[in-house]
Structure 1
Amino acid sequence: MNTKSIVSGGVCILIGGFFSLSALTSLKIGTSTNMGPGYFPLSLAIILIGIGLYIAAQAIREESDGFRFGLGAIPWRGTLLICLSPIILGLTIRGMGLAPSIFLTAMVSAFASRAQTMKMAVSVSLVLTIFCVLIFGVILKLPIPVIGPWFSL
């Protein structure tokens, strides 16, 4: 058995279980034709539990990686940058606006990988920024300025 994958599957199952229990106890679920506020979170939680079960089941069939108590080295750079990204988005979206804030957030999270190059990070950030502006600004018409007051003259 692959212990890392079993632990990963277990974490997915626990997180999915927590959110499904939370949705079931505190939100109205509704039906498929009349969805309540808990319908979507419950659906995502069930999908996450399914993914966790699949990962754990595959781990049981895999070759053993040798039982070790620890899970190996923790990639602190990636962990820090991925956790920091939504905080940056939350702190900058009102002042910078949607486009610069998404671009900055994507750039920060892009460098969570040590293999990332500047050219690829900028390319992915630009594509993601354009996509988000089209979806949230043009199609959904959310009341978030594309360019915020920090950049106004």
Structure 2
Amino acid sequence: MQFRLASLHKNVWGGTLMVALGGGVVWQSLQYRVGSLRVMGPGYFPLVLGIILIATGVIIAIQGSLAAPRPAATEKLAPQWKAWALISLGIIAFVVLAQYFGLVPATFAVVFISALGDHGNSWRAAAVLAIAIVAVAVAVFWWGLQVQLPLFRWPPFPWLAA
């Protein structure tokens, strides 16, 4: 049986990438003072996260290697230009709307526009998802972390209001 790299399960590749990334995080965290559990240094938390990333990557890679090899691709899938365009547009909309209108409209726009990039989502599903993510974003970023971005900004263009 001939071994081909392309026949490996995608989880093997993903797990390997996570192990490599975790290794880089661990290596970089060792450039700082790690300290101990009682007196943590600036490198302690990244070290722990890197180790967790490595362990997760190993588990995913092992799970992927135990899966049946995927069959060779018989058809070439066309690029999903609609998804690329809508996700990019969503990010641009977030940047612009956050600056002039605030966190709530910007978060709603990025999630709603990006969700429409998936052909399986309807307008209603995208709106429900956007409303849910706005609630989470307000709770986490505005209330929990107290990010200095107003929920709403009105008038959006102060120089026009005068």
Check 1:92–1:29 CA distance in 2 against 1; reply closer, same or farther (3 A cut): farther
What's the counterpart of residue 12 of structure 2? 6
Alignment of 1:65-144 (within 5 A): 65-66=70-71, 73=77, 76-77=80-81, 78=83, 88-144=93-149
Structure 2 counterpart SS, 1:52: helix
Check 1:9–1:43 CA distance in 2 against 1; reply closer, same or farther (3 A cut): same
1:61 matched to 2:66? The reply is yes
Check 1:137–1:54 CA distance in 2 against 1; reply closer, same or farther (3 A cut): same
Matched residue pairs, number? 149
Structure number with larger C-alpha Rg: 2
More moved, 6-15 vs 143-152: 143-152
The 2-side partners of 1:146 and 1:102 are apart by 10
Structure 2 counterpart SS, 1:49: helix
Conserved in 2, the CA contact under 8 Å of 1:20 and 1:45? yes
1:46 matched to 2:51? The reply is yes
Query: Which string of whole-angstrom CA distances, capped at 9 and with x for unpartnered residues, describes residues 30-79 of structure 1?
Result: 443444444333333322222211111112222222478xxx75864556
Task: Supply the RMSD in Å over aligned alpha carbons.
Answer: 3.1
Task: Specify which structure has the bigger relative contact order, considering alpha-carbon pairs within 8 angstroms and separated by 6 or more residues.
Answer: 1
Structure 1 counterpart SS, 2:151: coil
Looking at secondary structure, tell me which structure has more helix per residue: 1
Question: Residue 27 of structure 2: which of 8, 11, 21 is its match?
Answer: 21
Shift of 1:89: 3.6
Unaligned runs of 5+ in 1: none
The 2-side partners of 1:46 and 1:85 are apart by 34
Task: Please tell me the residue identity of whatever aligns with 1:13.
Answer: V
Unaligned runs of 5+ in 2: 1-6
Instruction: Provide the TM-score with structure 2 as the length reference.
Output: 0.70
Structure 2 counterpart SS, 1:64: coil
Task: Please tell me the residue identity of whatever aligns with 2:28.
Answer: S
Query: Which string of whole-angstrom CA distances, capped at 9 and with x for unpartnered residues, describes residues 65-108 of structure 1?
Result: 2478xxx7586455665577556544542332111111112123
Conserved in 1, the CA contact under 8 Å of 2:15 and 2:59? yes
Structure 1 counterpart SS, 2:68: coil
Identity percentage over the alignment?
27
Shift of 1:120: 0.9
